[in-house]
Chain A
Amino acid sequence: MTIDPETLMAYADGELDPIAARRVENAIAADPALATQVDRHRELAASLRAAFDPVVAAPVPAAVETMLGESAKVVPLASKSARRERSFWMGAVAASLVAGLFAGPLLFPGDSGGFAMRDGRAIARGDIAKALGTQLASAQAPDASIRVGVTFRDGAQRWCRTFEAGATGGIACVQGKNWRIERLYGGIAGQGGTYRQAGSPAAAMMTDAQAMMVGEPLDAAAEKAARDAGWR
């Protein structure tokens, strides 16, 4: 009987059920070349692991560990001193809005429909408002032109969400019936390809979101529940 290469490999990896394994063992008993091939599979596997295992033992690059550490400690800090953070925050928002809005035509080529001014504040409208109101981060089309990131409550118990639209990212929070734009970030990398580096606008957006956040960001189920309840 013949044993195909996939089955022989699966046998070498211990992936076969007992009956299929027995069948391979019978074939091996009759054909030493099969036994040699099983050995070669196991030897190769052992050398591959030996070649890459030192990476596991080596210390993780400091930059990556720092990024995680910063992210982990921002949340409890924000809830402890939410009030103080908030007053600091409002100043920062005002400053960033000025920068963000003046840069608006550059950031949104061919589309000024995503934002409007109301009572001196920027609010989302059009596609961005629609995405913020309805789109679930856990169920976005891979090619969605606007992507929602994390959803959370801020110190004022408002629902807030991060979003990306082309090269622009932002944080918006529910204010009455609108999503008020709290922050905008230019130069957010698009979906494909390029790696994001620490210190990039995307990283800054995340750090800021975590500073605003009280408690944990929503998981998929809580996000859906909040949306279905109309962001109340």
Chain B
Amino acid sequence: MAFEDELLGHLPRLRRFAHALARSAADADDLLQASVERALVRRGQWEPGTRLDSWMYRLMRNLWIDTVRAETRRSETFVAPEAGDSVGTAGGQEMAVELGNIAQAMRTLPPEQREAVALVVIEGFAYKEAAEILDIPMGTLTSRLVRGREALMTRLGEAA
């Protein structure tokens, strides 16, 4: 199968991953487009016979994290969980519901917890596969995952 055809088959899931990572739907689709473009430029680096989806997830995640870091450097725009709360509830309950409480809550997680939750819980990767995509040890993955999930439970429990 041509590289493009195989990639096309993975697009819907990659797009879901982008939506779980990015701060808005528009950012998520920009991230998807940028990832596909980079994949076409760097297709020579993918080894046929290995999983294209894992390669794509890694590529997208790295692109996203570069952007997060660049933004954090530029201005401390990264909203701390506490600040995120007040942003979401300052007269904006209706809005928060429309955006989806859950998507909203994901966006308050620190990046390293968000990517772990997105890969394992939403994308359904085994712990071992997720750790490989993120290039971190299993123990680091499980501790980020458990912290991210507990934060989400607390946040969503409060909202209920």
List chain B residues, Cβ under 8 A from A216: 3
List chain B residues, Cβ under 8 A from A18: none
Q: Which of A58-66, A84-92, A98-106, A110-118 contacts its partner?
A: A58-66
Q: Total contacts A to B, CB within 8 angstroms?
A: 149
B56 interface hit (Cβ, 8 Å): no
Count chain B CB atoms within 10 A of each CB in A6, A40, A63, A65 and give the residue with the most.
A6
CA separation between A202 and B34, bound complex, in Å?
11
Chain B interface extent, by class: 35 or more
B95 interface hit (Cβ, 8 Å): no
A58-86 vs B, Cβ < 8 Å mask (1 yes, 0 no): 10110111011101100000000000000
B31: which of A137, A192, A195, A218 is its contact (CB, 8 Å)?
A: A195
B42 interface hit (Cβ, 8 Å): yes
Is B8 within 8 A of A195, CB to CB? no
Is A61 within 8 A of B33, CB to CB? yes
CA separation between A57 and B152, bound complex, in Å?
25
A231 → chain B, closest Cβ, in Å?
A: 15
List chain A residues, Cβ under 8 A from B96: none
Is B15 within 8 A of A56, CB to CB? yes
Is A52 within 8 A of B19, CB to CB? yes
The A interface, classified by DSSP as helix, strand, loop or mixed, is: helix
Is A137 within 8 A of B37, CB to CB? no
Q: Which 6 A-B pairs have the closest CB atoms?
A: A195-B34, A72-B4, A51-B102, A193-B70, A55-B16, A56-B12
Q: List 11 A-B contacts (CB under 8 A).
A: A48-B122, A56-B16, A61-B15, A67-B33, A68-B4, A68-B36, A149-B42, A151-B44, A192-B66, A195-B67, A220-B44
State the A residues within 8 Å of B (CB): 5-6, 9-10, 13, 15, 40-41, 44-45, 47-49, 51-53, 55-58, 60-61, 63-65, 67-69, 71-72, 137-138, 149-151, 162, 191-198, 200, 202-203, 205-206, 216-221, 223
